[in-house]
Amino acid sequence: MSMTAQQFVRKWSKIQLKERTTAQSHFNDICALIGHKTPLELDPKGEFFTFEEGAKKPEGEQGWADAFYRNKFIWEYKGSKNSQSLEKAYQQLLLYKDSLGNPYLLITSDTLTIRIHTNFNNTVKKTHTITLDDISTGSGVELLRRAFNDPESFKPADTPEQVTKASAKQFITVANLLQKEKQKLDPERLAHFIVLLLFFLFAEDLGLLPDKVFTNLVKQNLPLESFRQSLKNLFASMRTGGMFGVTRIPHFNGGLFDDDFVPDELPDIAPSLRDASAQDWSSIDPSIFGTIFEQILDEDKRKRAQLGAHYTSKEDILLVIEPVLMQPLREKWQAIKLQAESMAHADKSKKAQQLLQDFSNEVASIRVLDPACGSGNFLYVALRQLLDLQKEIITLAARLKLTDIPLTVDPQQIYGIEINSYAHELAQITVWIGYLQWRAENGFAEMDEPILKPLHQIENKDAIINMKTGKEPEWPVVDVIVGNPPFLGGKMIRVELSDKYVNKIFAAYKGSVPHEVDLVCYWFEKARRHLEEGKVKRVGLLSTNSIRGGANRKVLEQIQQSGNIFWAQSDRDWVLDGASVNVSMIGFDDGTQKMHELDGVIVSHINPDLTSSTNLTLAKTLGENQGIAFMGVTPLGPFDISEVNAKEWVKLDGKNKKVLKKFVNALDIVRRPSNTWIIDFGTDTTEKEASTYSEPFEYISENVKPFRANARAGDRTGVAWWRHQRPRPEMRNALSGLKRYIVTPGVSKHRIFVWLNEDILADHALFAFARDDDYFFGVLHSKIHELWALRQGTSLEDRPRYTPTTTFESFPFPWSPSHEPKDNPRVQAITEAAKQLDDFRNEWLNPKGGQYDNSEKVLKKHTLTNLYNALALYRAEYKGKMRMPETFKDAVDRIIGLDEIESLDHIHTKLDHAVLDAYGWQHNLSDEQILEKLLILNLERANTQK
């Protein structure tokens, strides 16, 4: 049966909604209006399109929505007497939508008005209102027809991310105007004022601030002083609740409105605020507060970088929150849910009620700490996950017709520590906004006053050291610790932080954290101690992936000794301040968790280097390898000079040659030589002796001496200004008498070893090996040693790091160094392959005549980095596959031909086989088998040396 728009309007303009039967009659008429079958006609069994969803089930549950159309909409009717009835109906649908499959649309009606609310994931929520007038004109009929036949057509184009960016762009204009006040005000007070403005925009769009009171204020074009006073009055109203004009303002409190401060000399921000208020702030991502703050605060670069380090996307944060915080709760919930349903269906409602209430109380008691909380992103995501879980409990209780379970998860469960006062304030507001958004999105919009409460448990202090006492600060007793502590490499700690600070943390963590590890290691150790003391149950922290090796790894080894790593992401790409880094994510506890997951795969165990195979962390330092590998010199100051200067000074006085040397750093190795020279007065030259070298001494007097005078006190202590800060006498003694020696960059994409002549001095970014034989060079450059170095070392982004201690001194050579039989055919095979490798590379790096273009432009591309990039590409994409010389050459920017790269691959394979033969091992061993054998050999050698 069909119905025209006029018939529909005529009928329903006279009927007030009272009974459910009237609601069903109205819905059937909607179907007739748009030419759609009714629920009874289309789905007599009530399986996908029905009234009173839930009431049809044999257990007798009450329905949650008056009409249900699976995967399309749920529809709720309310009486038309109360102006707030449709809003209450919508809140009810928000509460139950998850249990009804989260359809695309949530529709409410009182017969006079119909509201269609969108419910699509990752989109901004939109509402379409249909009145009887809209139905008369036909526009409302078309919207209803789409709701039934094509609900996906309602999907909004804007995502929360897009709205967030648009909102930020508008508000930054306000921030820029207020920055003019930075010279006149305490930056913290100015920052607090700006947070209040942000909160106004959010609270108004969420409906917490009624009658568009803030937007109307900024639209009034008041004189600046009147506008300023009006803002103060509004602040005061929000602090205690009260009237602002004719509008009642709720009591907000929460410490946010402790005073009514507005800058005395307020710039004309009203026009910019009008533009900002046009955006939908109810859907913003709370993390945007941190981004906007960076535009506001006039701090030094370092503080901004530290603040920025904490801005992490919700998706990335969930990678840690889910396995560490939520997984145990979700597992428990699955068991409780089945048990409660079984009890309710067996007429044991009281027991089911108690079971659900107890678990709800447990979820509401979980305390979460982020000890480096920044602007609060980890905390607000953790809070929302706990809220989601409690909502499932509440919904199940309602479905089972049990007594209502209240929503009790709230921000008081969230703990934080943050040293930056600005970020500390941001964290509190971020948590509150995340909480308020969740309530609005899930049917819990109504709140008791005060709406905000102080979050004193988010503390403004240093998390790893109390500078007054020199001791570790107390962390609160919580259930779970999660977070993203600041990324600061060990070499940069003294540069970025004061000597006093560094000395304090060294003393406080003496014996448990090696000196100059990455700063993040102190958070791991502090969390481990907290766990050992029974003050936390589970921990999930992030670090750069350098925590897997070197001295950093000691903190993970200690975690394994006192507890257990149960979950890890060993190496993930990460974007930090626009730059790509590689991070490790690590979850650990006291050993309670028995299931282990590494990189998404269930494993039997996780080693401290975040592998699940051969545990190389058991490897010992071998005395036989000591006294061979050394870090190069650290000049500290502009000792370096050009080749032109060096030659000129030698011409002026031949004596100068003794203190002038070629100087090579890591870039000279992996790129092209820079032909840099350096002034080097050795390890014990006195100032008087140095002054006899006129030109070099005059140069460093003018350049190095003032540089050293301005250096940090710790760098100057005990260092003669005319000598290098660390001239490495042990290295010089070990290299004495050698015509050449081996070096490798400390950090590089490829593990490359090269020869340097005796008269060349190596920079501290290189490690020098006091050996001049091709055999030793060959073993170092073999796959066998490279595998060990990759697993034992750390990494900087995608560049593995090599160290003389953890990497080299633990590596077991085929024979103990200096005890290899030189006439042995296996030694000679390694020697031959090593020479071939060195010859090939030298010819390619410095081509002569024939087919080669020796232009400077071409030579710039002939670097070891490019050569080994080409080798990696060949092995990954071409070796053993279709042979396409021109395609390969184009792929590597025509720096090398396929035939040449095949030769290089052959030489390396020949070298690898020769080294495997020296160990007496088969050529077809897997990488893991090689590492297993090396570890066995390491431990045998270590036991022999005891």
pLDDT on residue 758? 93
d(CA 175, CA 301): 18
| Those residues with Cβ within 8 angstroms of residue 525's Cβ, 6 or more apart along the chain or in another chain | 509, 512, 513, 555, 558
Is residue 158 scored above 90 in pLDDT? no
pLDDT on residue 585? 94
Mean pLDDT along residues 604-629: 89
| Cα 225–Cα 226–Cα 228 angle in degrees, nearest 5 | 65
Torsion of CA 689, 690, 693, 698, to 10 degrees: -140
d(CA 548, CA 794): 6
Grouping H, G, I as helix, E, B as strand and the rest as coil, residue 661 is strand
pLDDT on residue 849? 53
Lowest mean pLDDT among 420-429, 634-643, 740-749: 420-429
Amino acid letter, residue 181: E
Grouping H, G, I as helix, E, B as strand and the rest as coil, residue 863 is coil
pLDDT on residue 83? 58
> Which range scores top for mean pLDDT: 117-126, 237-246, 401-410, 574-583?
401-410
| Cα 769–Cα 772–Cα 776 angle in degrees, nearest 5 | 70
- DSSP 8-state secondary structure symbol assigned to residue 61: P
The encoded tokens of residue 568 equal 């890890």
d(CA 687, CA 695): 14
The encoded tokens of residue 814 equal 């085929």
Alpha helices in 484-630 (DSSP H): 493-496, 499-508, 520-532, 553-562
Q: What is the pLDDT of residues 927-937, one digit of tens each?
A: 888 999 999 99
Are the C-beta atoms of 65 and 76 separated by less than 8 Å?
yes
d(CA 473, CA 508): 10
Mean pLDDT along residues 30-47: 93
d(CA 171, CA 797): 34
The encoded tokens of residue 216 equal 């109307």
d(CA 729, CA 750): 29
- DSSP 8-state secondary structure symbol assigned to residue 413: G
* Proportion of the chain above pLDDT 90, given as a percent: 53
Cα dist. 816→455, 811, 890, 937 in Å? Answer: 62, 10, 45, 11
d(CA 27, CA 73): 13
Nearest to 167 by CA among 50, 292, 267, 71: 292
Mean pLDDT along residues 513-522: 89
The encoded tokens of residue 918 equal 């020296």
| Those residues with Cβ within 8 angstroms of residue 939's Cβ, 6 or more apart along the chain or in another chain | 618, 619, 620
pLDDT on residue 796? 54
Q: What is the pLDDT of residues 793-813, one digit of tens each?
A: 766 555 678 888 888 999 999
Is residue 923 scored above 60 in pLDDT? yes
pLDDT band at 54, cuts 50/70/90?
low
pLDDT on residue 519? 92
d(CA 668, CA 670): 6
Grouping H, G, I as helix, E, B as strand and the rest as coil, residue 222 is coil
More confident residue, 179 or 149: 149
- Give just the sign of the alpha carbon dihedral 609, 615, 620, 624: negative
Helix, strand, coil percentages (3-state) for the chain, rounded to 5, are 50, 15, 35
Amino acid letter, residue 697: F
Is residue 310 scored above 50 in pLDDT? no
Mean pLDDT along residues 267-271: 88
Mean pLDDT along residues 519-536: 96
* Helices vs strands, H then E, count in the chain: 36, 27
Determine how β-strand 73-77 pairs with β-strand 105-109.
Answer: parallel
Amino acid letter, residue 77: Y
Is residue 123 scored above 50 in pLDDT? yes
Element (H, E) at 235: helix 224-240
Cite the beta strand spans of 419-531 per DSSP E: 458-460, 480-483
Q: What is the pLDDT of residues 243-262, one digit of tens each?
A: 998 899 988 876 777 777 88
Q: What is the pLDDT of residues 689-705, one digit of tens each?
A: 999 999 999 999 999 99
d(CA 724, CA 703): 13
Q: How many CA atoms lie within 13 A of 280 on its CB side?
A: 14
d(CA 363, CA 389): 8
Mean pLDDT along residues 446-465: 90
Lowest mean pLDDT among 143-152, 299-308, 524-533: 299-308
d(CA 757, CA 761): 9
The encoded tokens of residue 523 equal 């958070």
Answer left, alpha or beta for residue 347, where phi above 0 means left and psi between -120 and 50 means alpha.
left
Cite the beta strand spans of 787-851 per DSSP E: 795-796, 799-800
Q: What is the pLDDT of residues 85-109, one digit of tens each?
A: 888 889 888 888 887 888 999 999 9
d(CA 606, CA 610): 6
Is residue 55 scored above 70 in pLDDT? no
Interhelix angle for 314-321 vs 377-399, to 10°?
Answer: 70
d(CA 678, CA 638): 9
Sort 684 into a burial class: Cβ within 10 Å, 0-12 / 13-18 / 19+. exposed
Q: What is the pLDDT of residues 354-391, one digit of tens each?
A: 999 999 999 999 999 999 998 888 999 999 999 999 99
Nearest to 420 by CA among 283, 236, 290: 290
pLDDT band at 300, cuts 50/70/90?
very low
Are the C-beta atoms of 399 and 64 separated by less than 8 Å?
yes
Amino acid letter, residue 406: P
Are the C-beta atoms of 430 and 379 separated by less than 8 Å?
yes
Mean pLDDT along residues 315-326: 90
Nearest to 232 by CA among 217, 220, 247: 217
Amino acid letter, residue 332: K
d(CA 261, CA 236): 10
Nearest to 572 by CA among 873, 313, 316: 316
For the sheet with 601-603, list strands across it.
458-460, 414-418, 368-370, 480-483, 538-544, 579-589, 564-576, 596-598, 601-603
pLDDT band at 111, cuts 50/70/90?
confident
d(CA 755, CA 764): 16
Q: What is the chain's alpha carbon radius of gyration, rounded to the nearest angstrom?
A: 35
Is residue 614 scored above 80 in pLDDT? no
pLDDT band at 772, cuts 50/70/90?
very high
| Those residues with Cβ within 8 angstroms of residue 828's Cβ, 6 or more apart along the chain or in another chain | none
For 567, list phi and psi in degrees, rounded to 5.
-150, 140
Mean pLDDT along residues 616-636: 92
Mean pLDDT along residues 330-344: 91
Amino acid letter, residue 787: L
Determine how β-strand 596-598 pairs with β-strand 564-576.
Answer: parallel
d(CA 605, CA 77): 55
